[in-house]
Structure 1
Amino acid sequence: MDSTSSISNNPDTDLNTSRKKKRKIDIDNGAQSSELCSQIDPTRWTNPTNQQIYSSKLVQALGNNSCNGGNEVRDMANRVLATTSKGKTRWSRAILTNQLSMRLNLINRKHKRAKAAKMRSKVARNNNKKKNNKEEVPLLEQKVRVLGRLVPGCKKVPFPSLLEETTDYIGALEMQVRAMTFLTQLLGGAAEAG
């Protein structure tokens, strides 16, 4: 009886089981995200009702918040686009979580500036060493990396998933351009009439 209580209270066994559970959860999440990507309908962004929903949400968001510059309008449009996607894609989740990390970066920016001055000389030395040891990367792999950087949240995604996310993101951006063009024409016509 004493040996069973010592086994259940052993932190090493608890740690191992939690690692196994975490590994299993990570594997399950990977399978779910690949299944989710295959369920994404690339034509959903051409649907007029989706464009109407996006346009109305965008007008409402721009009306509620005072945007002072083009960057703020773009960020607002991207956030509304991500919420219209309802978090079904990796890029939409990345846009929504990026807003939180941007706020935290504003808080931590002061601390980073002090550290950056110290690190510049070390980084310069390390970069010179890396340039000498750098191997040639195939052209296709370079282009896949660039594409992964262009689509939010897709830096380290397998190639087939990257292609699915990219096609969905392009469709969403096309819809965003149509909605923004319509709103610009609408507001431009109102300004000329008024």
Structure 2
Amino acid sequence: MEAKLGRQRWRSCRQKLSYTAELVRALRRVRGASGSSSLRKSSWEVREAADRALAALAGGRSRWGAAILARRRRHGRRRWPSAPLEMARKLKMLGRLVPGCSELPLSALLEETSDYIAALEMQVQAMKALARSISSVDASL
């Protein structure tokens, strides 16, 4: 039930508009700060700005959001004694993919993953809309 509520939260128009506004502000900061930096560095900065805007919108209510904002890198080992070896390997990889979730028990990992996926879906939609609006402005010039 919690995962369903998380998905609904990320699909609301209010959340999408808030994220888009925060993303635009973050991208402006990146553009102003990057100056003559390389393309590779600026693409990393755009990704970082998009993730931080998403985490700020989550407001620290999720583990992945807090991890993105803190950018803590933990390399602790987590064992899954009751899971088969292949499943344990996949769960460990999933824990690495979702920021801040490398040491969570299975149920919490799945809840955080579900919320993170819904947030990323909203992020992609907002970035597509932003790209469309930028390309339409460029085309009219």
TM-score class, shorter: 0.7 to 0.9
SS at match of 1:75: helix
Give me the whole-angstrom Cα distance separating, in 1, the residues matched to 2:118 and 2:95: 16
What is aligned with 1:179? 126
The Cα offsets for residues 115-174 of structure 1, whole Å up to 9 and x where unpaired, read as: xxxxxxxxxxxxxxxxxxxxxx61111111111011000111000000000000000000
Larger Rg belongs to: 1
Unaligned runs of 5+ in 1: 1-36, 103-136
CA distance in 2, matches of 1:138, 1:79: 34
Which of 63, 72, 85 is the aligned partner of 2:45? 72
Which runs of structure 1 show a deviation greater than 4 angstroms over 4 or more consecutive aligned residues? none
Corresponding residue pairs, total = 122
Output the CA distance in 1 between the equivalents of 2:24 and 2:138: 16
Give identity over the alignment, percent: 39
- Which digits, 9 at most, give the CA deviation of each residue in 1:65-122, with x for residues without a partner? 3245211101000000000000000000000001xx58xxxxxxxxxxxxxxxxxxxx
- The structure richer in helix per residue is 1
The CA distance in 1 between the partners of 2:59 and 2:132, in whole Å, is 28
* 1:156 equivalent in alignment to 2:103: yes
Q: Contact 2:6–2:118 at 8 Å: present in 1 too?
A: no
> Which position in structure 1 is the counterpart of 2:80?
none
- Displacement of 1:186 in angstroms is 0.6
Aligned to 2:12: 47
Is structure 2 residue 60 aligned with structure 1 residue 60?
A: no
Counterpart-to-counterpart distance in 1, 2:7 and 2:137? 34
Report the TM-score when normalising by structure 2: 0.79
Are 1:94 and 2:67 counterparts? yes
- Once the two structures are superposed, the pairs formed by residues 1-194 of structure 1 within 5 Å of their partners are 41-66=6-31, 67=34, 69-98=42-71, 138-194=85-141
CA RMSD of aligned residues (A): 2.0
Matches of 1:147 and 1:161, distance apart in 2: 12
Partner of 2:104, secondary structure, is coil
TM-score by length of 1: 0.59
Residue 65 of structure 1: SS of its match in structure 2? helix
Q: Secondary structure at the match of 2:99?
A: coil
